[in-house]
Structure 1
Amino acid sequence: MTMITAKWSIEEYHRMIEAGILSDRKVELLQGEIIEMSPEGEPHAYCSHEAANYLIKLLGDLATIRQAKPITLPNESEPEPDIAIVQNLGREYLLHHPYPENIFWVIEYANSSLEKDLETKSKIYAQAGILEYWVVNLRKFNLVVFRDILDGEYATKQTFTTGIIQPVAFPDIAVEVEKIINK
């Protein structure tokens, strides 16, 4: 017997949220499936918070830094990345979460969710057209940077423990790897 998983649209997912069905659960929508999110441990909470504060100061008015807030993607996904660097659209975000065209890059901090973030989410973000995706591996305290979308996947994957990265969206900005990892 083949088991078929029920898929949910973003609209159906939003209706569940509005009806309070998911209010007691920490979940996100990934490719039409409602997925439980791992709880944040202390290193995850500390490192992502410190990195967000650093990016707020570094980028100033160039972008808005959203922490653990949904983004809406066309592949029936509404993940909640730890950090999303998005366009400053102000009150427009009262009407919708950031769409791919509003997103400069996203960052996930991962320990127990490492495989999901490196494999599943990298494909979801690439398919949605997000030009850059960073994963902080909290097991090894390194930064994995995905870039260069080719056939719905990132063609370039680099790992850093130190140094400087210039984000694709802001090539004149120097991001210190150590400030993102916060080891």
Structure 2
Amino acid sequence: MSQSTLAYHWSRSEFLRAWEAGAFDHRVELVEGAIWPVVIGSWHGDAVGQLLALLPRTAVKVTTATLPTGGSLPDPDCWVRRADAEPVGTVGTRLSVWDASDVLLVVEVADETTIQDLNVKAKLYGQAGYAVYWVITQQAIYEHVDPIPTGYRTRIEHRPGEEIPVRYAGSSLAVDELIAP
């Protein structure tokens, strides 16, 4: 006889109340009603540090803040917004909500979460209308562009020896510098 399990679907407000009350003993994020642990290993941490050092910063702000997106509260490794952008709202007491047109790039560094980042989060960020989404892995960088209601119309794989365009800055970065810090 098999036993079914009940999955609990967290609302954004329930998650925020628990998060603000300090109910979680480790870093987590809310993705489509599920609580996901945020795991940061050595390569991941080094890659995020390298990314933050290399991203162009003219007329933009680069942040590692939670990015409220639909009913989710994902915690991208970094994202870039227009420097003159103003929040369009707040969630809870500490999170700002941004207009999709002000969010220029969202980046996830994927060590153990590649499948989720390429699928679930690509859908989430594309539905939100964020123009460009990168998934950085140890083998390649996957650039998602042209957001549509089901995710992104286009995914481009950039390999070592190539450059990835930094569309908001009209420049590019070497893939090697980002995946092998």
Same fold (TM > 0.5): yes
Match of 2:163 in 1: 164
Root-mean-square deviation (CA), in Å? 2.4
CA distance in 2, matches of 1:98, 1:166: 26
Q: What SS does the aligned partner of 2:118 have?
A: helix
Q: Is contact 2:144–2:156 with CA below 8 Å preserved after alignment? A: yes
Q: How far apart are residue 9 of structure 1 and its match?
A: 2.1
Q: Quick check: 1:73 aligned with 2:74?
A: no
Deviations 1:6-34 (A, max 9, x none): 22222222111122212x12110001221
Deviations 1:36-74 (A, max 9, x none): 222x1111111111111111xx223x211113x200011
- Matched residue type, 1:84: W
Deviations 1:95-149 (A, max 9, x none): 63343523111111112111111111111111111111101112x2x11111112
**Alignment: residue pair count:** 173
Match of 1:13 among 11, 15, 25: 15
Higher strand share: 2
Q: Is contact 1:72–1:100 with CA below 8 Å preserved after alignment? A: no
Q: Is contact 1:100–1:128 with CA below 8 Å preserved after alignment? A: no
Q: What SS does the aligned partner of 2:57 have?
A: helix
CA distance in 2, matches of 1:17, 1:33: 14
Match of 1:104 in 2: 104
- Consecutive unaligned residues of structure 2, counting only runs of 5 or more, are none
Q: What SS does the aligned partner of 1:155 have?
A: strand
Q: How far apart are residue 168 of structure 1 and its match?
A: 3.9
CA distance in 2, matches of 1:164, 1:87: 23
Q: TM-score scaled to structure 2, two decimals? A: 0.82
Write out aligned runs for 1:1-183 (5 A). Answer: 3-22=5-24, 24-38=25-39, 40-55=40-55, 58-60=56-58, 62-67=59-64, 69-74=65-70, 76-88=71-83, 96-101=95-100, 102-138=102-138, 140=139, 142-161=140-159, 162-170=161-169, 172-183=170-181
Q: What SS does the aligned partner of 1:20 have?
A: coil
Identity %: 23
Q: TM-score scaled to structure 1, two decimals? A: 0.82
- Consecutive unaligned residues of structure 1, counting only runs of 5 or more, are none
